[in-house]
């Protein structure tokens, strides 16, 4: 059974930074590409960033490009999301998700993902 546990959320002022972590247990970490999604109150869950199983390829939503960085440490079975220059519109619950590495379609849709964490709240005050 695969489990994903996020941490690192909190309250930060606009312009500040946070780093989210997602620790994976269960099946081999490198069997999966990983991603972050977020869901603001009253809105749908949106794609944020994706990283391939090796870490060699990343993909970002336009809204976070240049501000957020996704990375992974396969030795620690952990994926990270470094968030800089935070804005009030970044306020949301952030979820990490795992996608089998042989998937070849578009990665920005949540129903393609196999496993999800419970989410961590990020609140940016203006």
Nearest Cα neighbor of 55 from 74, 39, 41, 40 is 74
42-55 pLDDT tens trace = 999 999 999 999 99
Q: Among 20-29, 64-73, 89-98, whose mean pLDDT is lowest?
A: 20-29
Residue that has been written with the tokens 């970044």 in this structure = 90
pLDDT (0 to 100) of residue 54: 93
What value does the mean pLDDT of the chain take? 95
Is pLDDT above 90 for 26? Answer: no
Spatial distance between the Cα atoms of 81 and 54, rounded to a whole number of angstroms: 16
Is pLDDT above 90 for 27? Answer: no
59-88 pLDDT tens trace = 999 999 999 999 999 999 999 999 999 999
């Amino acid at each position: 059974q695969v489990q994903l546990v996020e941490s690192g959320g909190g309250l930060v002022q606009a312009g500040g930074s946070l780093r989210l972590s997602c620790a994976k247990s269960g099946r081999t970490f490198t069997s999966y590409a990983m991603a972050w999604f977020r869901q603001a109150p009253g809105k749908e869950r949106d794609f944020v960033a994706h990283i391939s199983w090796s870490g060699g390829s990343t993909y970002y939503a336009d809204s976070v490009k240049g501000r957020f960085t996704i990375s992974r440490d396969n030795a620690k079975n952990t994926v990270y999301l470094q968030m800089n220059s935070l804005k009030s519109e970044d306020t949301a619950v952030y979820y990490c998700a795992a996608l089998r590495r042989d998937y070849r379609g578009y990665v920005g849709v949540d129903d393609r993902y196999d496993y999800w964490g419970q989410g961590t709240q990020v609140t940016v005050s203006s």
